[in-house]
Structure 1
């Protein structure tokens, strides 16, 4: 993990009441912005729709800023929506929510010390030779600090924002209500299953004991596969951990985005490792870290190995689901539309029956997504318009929300990871023999 100083500090609203007031304040601010913008436009003789007045850059910026400062479920839900429903959301909202992937606002010093004293007592510093009060990373659930024990173990200590775990349910309800009432979510768009799954996932991520079990389980299972020789994972320190504090060994590395910016020639190798890890997780382990946020992946500068961080979003897949999903992939690779339709139906894509209006679009999207696995030569992600084609089909479906059906939760989290990897590979102009990777792992 490479150190960096995060200078933007803002107290995390702790109580449910203060968090509700924070969301209420945003709603009032949005309404005021709409009124102001509407007055300006009407004076000019224009007749803008309410949707145009809501989806202004100022409103979108206010939404992103508020979610980032609330942290917790409010920010995480924005991240999930930006990844999972991006093709169904207004592009203005999708773009702003995507900012939350890298946005981090830290706790002020007084709140940090109060959190540490509440968990470890007033003499907590006695167990360290060194503790940095400047976090080296900040995310939606907590922030990470570097420390050194009395016996000189270098540590990375993840400290959860106060009140986050207790406010998950109310935050989610408040955010969804705000997005619906303001018109930021299209009318008729059914994201109930996604929201329920986000709720479950957030409760799990807020339990650092659960994350420690994920880390231990993942490390044990991945060691049985060839990809493990190219991976590094931190070690868990149980004696210095609580449900809201997770202590691990500090692993020196460079963030994957920074590494690839400075070493563009390494993009194909790195993205090949990322895709090999993805298919190993899915097809061989049935266990996946589903968050594609680049902050979760670093590179060891000495060995070039991938360093994996953040195991809060680890998801276990039923072997039956994996077998069925592999059938769908294979049918998509073969461009067998009838076979793919049958496989997707078994997976639960078409719960509304065989006459689902968007069935052809879903099959098209799945077939296009399998293109890298079909390519007989290494796939040039940056030269492909795969993301554009999928987006255009998704947007055509979103114009008829009644025709859309949200796929099963397992599929949503799986596609979230896959989409993130595809976008990263395109951004860094990676050329990857994806077909061979898939064939070797799928057997």
Structure 2
């Protein structure tokens, strides 16, 4: 496939085939069970086949379909190992690449947006894309002043494709639920659809990226490429080399994984505090590990790409998050319950036992209870299973809690980042980052406690 399929009928047909395929596999699974195969094994085989078809179609279509696949792929850690193992490579590929659009189409977009003499802006321009994503692809080039740059070109028709895909996907969101136990897929699709107009606007993206680039310009840990040029459907930024995070996940050393995990956590919490913006697309394709000194992994930096989706938080992350987190750790059930009620997490007509709320939250904040925590796929799966099991108190309580709209993106970004940390298998000092960057969360010093 060489170009973004833009005809609605073509894209809809491909996506509409997914639930039909799911239904066919369900019939196949029923036959297997009648034949005497255990239901649990049949269920896993169904999950494998469903995942295989889903990610194949999403990767081909790009647009909103691929964006949904990227958002879903960070939760790969929650899948049973028997399912996740065989398809981990496919998920990673979806995060990093997609079929390129024809060179002639790229040149046409550049001529339309930069002018017929667009080549004069570059000393060099590589026609083969360096990376492809859901709404555009990136070409490596040399700007006329000698700087190496990344040229992001938006696919023609990307906006229509995004909206069409996400509308179609939302129609059978319920069927996709079993792919990630404990996660309601429909709100994720709705939220992605709500963000379409922002992501298509390269002017907004340029502003968000430049804000981060200026704030982190001299930072020893985080690198954000500066914006060089921007216009409708074309964004030129400085180029950064590095090890794609997907490669660290698949082949990195323990030291590299831990360094990447610590920096990801630092960026998650420090970004809103320093810029008033939350980078809201934390899949591995948007990060690089930059070796400063090959021998000293502790000096390596995190390169951050793609600021098309951000949450605007002028005061940083809400104080309620940090305060409730700290109070939960310290066991103040009544106070936590009151804070959640005040923020709308608990609806007025619902009565909950504060102690049960505390029990529900404690495993979620487990990484903040200790000086350092090792994120693993097994831990992620246990959390997903705990929430997904209809028989568990956590499942019943979770259905009664409400997530206010202003917290939706924060919640998804946090969960997504945790998903990536579990893919890394990183040991992270999360509490250090919370103490420094999260408003309302402070641990007393030893001097304070002794007093």
TM-score, normalised with respect to structure 2: 0.77
Counterpart for residue 4 of structure 1? none
Looking at structure 2, the residues matched to 266 and 76 of structure 1 have their Cα atoms a distance apart, in angstroms, of 27
Looking at structure 2, the residues matched to 430 and 364 of structure 1 have their Cα atoms a distance apart, in angstroms, of 25
* 2:344–2:403 Cα contact (<8 Å) kept: yes
CA 1:203/1:193 → structure 2, altered by over 3 Å: closer, same or farther?
Answer: same
Looking at structure 2, the residues matched to 144 and 236 of structure 1 have their Cα atoms a distance apart, in angstroms, of 14
Counterpart for residue 317 of structure 1? 313
C-alpha displacement of 1:214: 0.8
* 1:369–1:386 Cα contact (<8 Å) kept: no
The secondary structure found in structure 1 opposite 2:124 is: strand
Matched, 1:440 2:432: no
Counterpart for residue 364 of structure 1? 359
Counterpart for residue 203 of structure 2? 209
Matched, 1:337 2:333: yes
Counterpart for residue 242 of structure 1? 231
| Cα deviation 1:256-300 (Å, max 9, x = unaligned) | 343574443244344333322222224454421122212222122
Looking at structure 1, the residues matched to 157 and 177 of structure 2 have their Cα atoms a distance apart, in angstroms, of 28
Counterpart for residue 350 of structure 1? 346
CA 1:47/1:431 → structure 2, altered by over 3 Å: closer, same or farther?
Answer: closer
* 1:208–1:242 Cα contact (<8 Å) kept: yes
Looking at structure 2, the residues matched to 435 and 395 of structure 1 have their Cα atoms a distance apart, in angstroms, of 27
Q: When the two structures are aligned, how many residues end up with a matched partner?
A: 424
Can you give the 5+ residue segments of structure 1 that lack an aligned partner in the other structure? Answer: 1-8
Matching of residues 279-428 of structure 1 within 5 Å: 279-283=269-273, 285-302=275-292, 304-317=300-313, 319=315, 322-351=318-347, 353-355=349-351, 363-375=358-370, 378-382=371-375, 386-397=379-390, 403=399, 405=401, 407-428=403-424
* 1:397–1:403 Cα contact (<8 Å) kept: no
Counterpart for residue 220 of structure 2? 229
Looking at structure 2, the residues matched to 434 and 216 of structure 1 have their Cα atoms a distance apart, in angstroms, of 27
Counterpart for residue 140 of structure 2? 146
Looking at structure 2, the residues matched to 419 and 413 of structure 1 have their Cα atoms a distance apart, in angstroms, of 10
Looking at structure 2, the residues matched to 202 and 350 of structure 1 have their Cα atoms a distance apart, in angstroms, of 29
Looking at structure 2, the residues matched to 24 and 94 of structure 1 have their Cα atoms a distance apart, in angstroms, of 27
The secondary structure found in structure 2 opposite 1:229 is: coil
Matched, 1:274 2:264: yes
C-alpha displacement of 1:382: 4.7
Matched, 1:166 2:160: yes
**Which residue of the other structure, out of 14, 20, 29, is the alignment partner of 1:22?**
14
| Cα deviation 1:392-425 (Å, max 9, x = unaligned) | 3211259878935552344343233333443444
Counterpart for residue 5 of structure 1? none
Looking at structure 2, the residues matched to 26 and 41 of structure 1 have their Cα atoms a distance apart, in angstroms, of 21
Looking at structure 1, the residues matched to 352 and 90 of structure 2 have their Cα atoms a distance apart, in angstroms, of 33
Aligned-residue RMSD, C-alpha:
4.2
After TM superposition, the structure 1 stretch with the greater mean CA deviation from structure 2, 227-236 or 398-407, is 398-407
CA 1:427/1:19 → structure 2, altered by over 3 Å: closer, same or farther?
Answer: closer
Looking at structure 1, the residues matched to 17 and 234 of structure 2 have their Cα atoms a distance apart, in angstroms, of 31
C-alpha displacement of 1:151: 3.4
Looking at structure 2, the residues matched to 365 and 281 of structure 1 have their Cα atoms a distance apart, in angstroms, of 28
* 1:128–1:150 Cα contact (<8 Å) kept: yes
**Which residue of the other structure, out of 54, 63, 66, is the alignment partner of 2:57?**
66
TM-score, normalised with respect to structure 1: 0.79
C-alpha displacement of 1:360: 7.0
